């Protein structure tokens, strides 16, 4: 059995064993699923190697795909949402990408990402869960078997944009002035939803959602990588960020999901934003999640400092030496996708910043492969 097959075959562990394995960065001796637990469809084995993927615009055109080829990436990730998130579009985009000699790693859907109805148990919760299940089924029909999910109840919080190296505009966060944003929603005020929610409510709502989603993901063979809360602070607008705002929260959430199909999309920038409050630094988190067979996608980006104030900056210009991140990913035999993300604006248009980030990423990967003695 290959190492990837071994990771995919691992089932549920007792809470004590799960936490011990994660903390130690190893899963030797981990218990398998108890007898009588549901049988999951076998996950498709990921081929060896780190897959560098470019985020292209929704409905990517010929120039978008030619740009990806020029950068030397093999994969693209495509955003969607609103009325664009249809099976017909998913199929058409995949065919277009493959005709250009590339592959699709994932197609997002902002309609079922950061859903307040689900995270906060608001009216329409069950309808949104059904919409999410339909999205998974459409991905599978289109031949896509990975998706990223985020569980924030009041969006990604940001302040007015600031500048980083060379005056490049970039996203910033200041705790005292930030607001929550997602698609066409803006979340403001001391209490974005009229009251303070308890941690117990947030956990209960997550369990309600994930227990309904897991059987569908397992039936379809789809991996769901969960993104950290951005930024990962204890509470924003009366909503606790207690689940995907720290390492221990992730461990408990993965145990509740109790599925080989639910894992981690580790956003390095978000993890760095959380600082010591994350419980593990980004390198420790990489090793622990990889040892659990749960690390499937990396958002490879950097920030200037942890909360309460940070600016997203160039990959080579922040608080983290990103070479250490790439080296750790190579050491744990990471086989998922790695993308540039939240790239600062550079002179010359959108593609300049993305080209800089992807070029830097590919150089780090080449160095890591060379030091490891393989491609």
Residue corresponding to tokens 């017909």 = 88
Taking each helix axis as running N to C, give the angle between helix 247-257 and helix 282-291, from 0 to 180 degrees, rounded to the nearest 10.
20
Residue 42 makes CB contacts below 8 A (sequence gap 6+) with 8, 221
At residue 365, φ and ψ (nearest 5 deg) are -65, -40
Backbone angles phi, psi at 54, to 5 degrees: -105, 130
Residues in the chain: 375
> pLDDT per position in the chain (375 positions), as tens?
433 334 343 334 445 555 555 555 443 333 334 333 454 557 888 999 999 999 999 999 999 999 999 999 999 999 999 999 999 999 999 999 999 999 999 999 999 999 999 999 999 999 999 999 999 999 999 999 999 999 999 999 999 999 999 999 999 999 999 999 999 999 998 999 999 999 999 999 999 999 999 999 999 999 999 999 999 999 999 999 999 999 999 999 999 999 999 999 999 999 999 999 999 999 999 999 999 999 999 999 999 999 999 999 999 999 999 999 999 999 999 999 999 999 999 999 999 999 999 999 999 999 999 999 865
Least Cα distance to 270 among 226, 237, 239, 238 occurs for 226
Q: What are phi and psi of 296, to 5 degrees?
A: -125, -20
Contact 266, 297 (CB under 8 A): yes
pLDDT of residue 31: 32
CA quadruple 276, 280, 284, 286: dihedral, nearest 10: -110
| 147 vs 182: CA distance, rounded Å | 18
User: What is the pLDDT at residue 44?
Assistant: 86
Please give the span between the terminal C-alpha atoms of the chain, in angstroms, as a whole number: 22
The radius of gyration of the chain's CA atoms, rounded to the nearest angstrom, is 20
Task: Count Cα neighbours of 315 within 13 Å in the Cβ-side half-sphere.
Answer: 27
Residue 8 has a pLDDT of 40
Euclidean distance between CA atoms 284 and 24, whole angstroms: 10
Structural domains of the chain, with CATH? 3-30+51-372 (3.20.20.150)
CA-to-CA distance for 228 and 207, rounded, in angstroms?
17
To the question of pTM greater than 0.75 for the whole model, the response is: yes
Which of 252, 155, 149, 158 is CA-nearest to residue 199?
252
Distances (CA, A) of 78 to 82, 94, 148, 308: 14, 10, 11, 31
CB 28 within 8 A of CB 71: no
């Amino acid at each position: 059995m290959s190492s990837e097959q071994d990771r995919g075959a691992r089932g549920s562990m007792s809470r004590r064993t799960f936490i011990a394995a994660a903390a130690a960065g190893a899963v030797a001796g981990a218990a398998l699923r108890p007898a009588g637990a549901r049988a999951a469809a076998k996950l498709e084995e990921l081929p060896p190697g780190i897959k560098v993927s470019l985020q292209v615009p929704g409905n990517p055109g010929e120039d978008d795909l030619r740009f990806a080829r020029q950068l030397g990436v093999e994969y693209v990730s495509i955003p969607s949402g609103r009325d664009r998130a249809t099976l017909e579009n998913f199929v058409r985009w995949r065919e277009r990408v493959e005709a250009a000699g590339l592959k699709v790693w994932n197609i997002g859907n902002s309609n079922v990402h950061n859903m307040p109805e689900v995270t906060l148990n608001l009216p329409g919760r069950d309808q949104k869960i059904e919409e999410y299940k339909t999205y998974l089924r459409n991905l599978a029909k289109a031949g896509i078997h990975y998706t990223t999910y985020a569980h924030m109840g009041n969006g990604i919080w940001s302040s007015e944009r600031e500048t980083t190296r060379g005056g490049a505009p970039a996203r910033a966060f200041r705790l005292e002035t930030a607001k929550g944003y997602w698609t066409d929603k803006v979340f403001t005020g001391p209490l974005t939803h009229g009251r303070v929610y308890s941690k117990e409510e947030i956990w209960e709502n997550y369990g309600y959602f994930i227990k309904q989603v897991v059987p569908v993901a397992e039936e379809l063979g789809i991996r769901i990588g969960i993104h950290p809360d951005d930024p990962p602070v204890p509470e924003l607008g009366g909503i606790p960020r207690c689940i995907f705002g720290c390492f221990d929260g992730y461990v408990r959430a993965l145990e509740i999901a109790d599925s080989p199909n639910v894992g981690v999309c580790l956003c390095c920038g978000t993890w760095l934003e959380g600082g010591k409050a994350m419980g593990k630094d980004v390198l420790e988190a990489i090793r622990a999640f990889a040892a659990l067979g749960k690390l499937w996608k990396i958002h490879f980006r950097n920030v200037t400092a942890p909360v309460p104030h940070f600016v997203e900056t160039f990959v080579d210009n922040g608080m983290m030496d990103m070479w250490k991140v790439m080296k750790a990913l190579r050491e744990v035999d990471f086989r998922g996708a790695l993308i540039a993300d939240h790239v600062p604006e550079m002179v010359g248009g959108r593609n300049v910043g993305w080209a800089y980030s992807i070029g830097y990423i590919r150089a780090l990967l080449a160095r890591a492969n060379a030091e490891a003695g393989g491609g």
